[in-house]
Amino acid sequence: MLDYKVRKVLDPKLDRVGKFFAHLGIPADFVTLLGWLFGVAAIIFVSQRFFWLSLIFWLINRVLDGLDGPIARSGNRSPIGGLLDLLADFSIYGGYLVGLAIAMPSQGVALAVLFLSYYLSGMTLMAISSMKSESKAKTPGKRTFYFANGLAEGTETIIAYSLICIIPWAANIILWVFSVMVFITFLQRAVIAMKLSKIRE
């Protein structure tokens, strides 16, 4: 929901930094891997209830995730860069829930429901991206995969995980509210997928 507005503000700045890093010869895949390692550290910290340390590493992970694309578009593009970026995102998003489950076993049901909502939303996302690829549609911002809009996107995920670190005592409410948002996103993307299927018939 917020990704478009946030990208409109941040993309020009990230593009400038990305061009600078590309000029230095820093590969986009290296930034993806570095960001993933910060994400793994964030998961480890949250699993041990070091919430503020986890928050710092989580935000660094998100910043680096925002930089690998601009670096790739500036010339240091890898043939598997888009796939690596997607795998890094999904593994950290899901891994963070595992870390929270270790830290907050009492929230197991809410975390499992959120994990299910991720699975369903991700499934429809990949289906839409595949259909768009077959139709030769251009992805916004020259991205490898087409990301259909929805109520819960990357920005909302950043906010949700950050709030859990800042006010862990409210984790139950945050997890259930975010689960509902992701389920709504799944439904939105399911509708988009069905419309695309009809167009292809």
DSSP class of 145: S
Closest CA to 165 of 59, 94, 89, 93: 59
Answer for the pair 128, 196: CB distance below 8 angstroms, yes or no.
yes
Q: Give me the CATH topology for the region 3-200.
A: Four Helix Bundle (Hemerythrin (Met), subunit A) (1.20.120)
How far is residue 1's CA from residue 16's CA, in Å, rounded to a whole number? 25
The 10s digit of each residue's pLDDT in 114-127 is 999 999 998 888 88
Structure tokens at 98: 């595992």
Q: Domain ranges in the chain?
A: 3-200
How far is residue 173's CA from residue 149's CA, in Å, rounded to a whole number? 24
What is the model's pTM? 0.86
Per residue of the chain (201 residues), what is the pLDDT tens digit? 787 788 888 888 888 888 888 888 888 899 999 999 999 999 999 999 999 999 999 999 999 999 988 888 887 667 777 889 889 999 999 999 999 999 999 999 999 999 999 999 988 888 887 776 665 555 454 555 566 778 888 899 999 999 999 999 999 999 999 999 999 999 998 888 888 776 555
